[in-house]
Structure 1
Amino acid sequence: MSKTLLYGATKIDETNAAYAAVASLEQFQWKNRVFIVIADRDNSRAARQENQLLADRAALEERDMVILKLAGSSIKLLFGSGDGLDGEALRQELDMPDTGEFAAFLLGKDGTVKLKASEPITSGELFAIIDGMPVHAGETVRHDK
């Protein structure tokens, strides 16, 4: 499996068949990219990650982003829209750290994990990764960055 280390994050090789679409987030497939913040015990890194991303809502909207925060098995929608989210199912589907440890995941529009970070990632780094993703048939790139 090919991985590239990027600022404390692991960019996942999207051609690896072991990374199947996350079923509990199927409602977002082919419509949204999903960024999941896993809260740490004192919430400090999760809060830093949340603030970093939500500071540029226009860029999130341009990239069709949904931002979720998972604390234990409780899931909260921070940006975008969605319903019927099951934090426990999501925790089981993704290779999540132990409760109390920070992590962040980026799922592409195909529903597969594209990035797993063990430290907060800047919005610039995240947007650079997203902007480097292949454009799928019928999808248009709307940002000028």
Structure 2
Amino acid sequence: MKRLRFLLPAPLLLLGLLLLTAQTSKPMPLEQTLREYRWKKRVLLLAAPTAEQADFKAQKALLAAEKAGMAARDFVVLEVFYNQLSTTDQQFLTKKTGVSPPAFAAVLIGKDGGVKERSSHPIQPAILFGTVDKMPMRREEMRQK
């Protein structure tokens, strides 16, 4: 019996390997993720037990209506689900932000990496923007635009 050989062109083989690697790679540790955003973006960290948690869904809905305001203030929203965090990430989250499972939390982290606001309830965009717009770095950004 003759064996059939299927040869893939090298670019397709490489693409397949990259996709397989991307699917099996571990997520970046939370501490490193926040470090990557430092001095580049303001982070609104949303922590919840699951994506179905009521306050998490409410916060996402509030933010969805304010995409332009979020973009103007260099925001990135970082969603964190407790059941997907490593023990190290859970410890870092508690130490860095004061947040611990299972409660919902919204945490504003400035470009300098410091916690600027923390809430156990969804934050209204107007309040979030007001907090950011009072910051010296944001005022400078507005002057430069």
The number of residues matched between the two structures is 111
1:87 deviates by: 5.0
Q: Is the 8 A contact 1:102 1:119 kept in 2?
A: yes
Q: Is the 8 A contact 1:37 1:105 kept in 2?
A: yes
1:141 deviates by: 1.4
1:94 aligns with: 97
Structure 2 unmatched runs, 5+: 1-29
- Hey, which of these two has a bigger chunk of helix by percent? 2
Q: Please list, as runs of the form range in 1=range in 2, the aligned pairs for 1:34-45 lying within 5 A after superposition.
A: 34-40=43-49, 43-45=53-55
1:97 deviates by: 2.3
2:78 aligns with: 68
TM (normalized to structure 2)? Answer: 0.65
Q: Is the 8 A contact 1:45 1:102 kept in 2?
A: yes
> Within the alignment, does 1:107 sit opposite 2:117 as a pair?
no
The structure whose RCO (Cα within 8 Å, separation 6+) is larger is 1
Say what the alpha-carbon RMSD is for the aligned residues.
Answer: 3.0
1:127 aligns with: 129
> Within the alignment, does 1:49 sit opposite 2:49 as a pair?
no
TM (normalized to structure 1)? Answer: 0.65
Q: Please list, as runs of the form range in 1=range in 2, the aligned pairs for 1:12-51 lying within 5 A after superposition.
A: 23-24=31-32, 25-40=34-49, 43-51=53-61
Q: 1:73 to 1:113 in 2, by over 3 A?
A: farther
- Rg: which structure is higher? 2
- Hey, which of these two has a bigger chunk of strand by percent? 1
1:73 deviates by: 4.8
Distance 1:73 1:89 in 2: 13
Taking only the aligned residue pairs, the percentage that are identical comes to 31
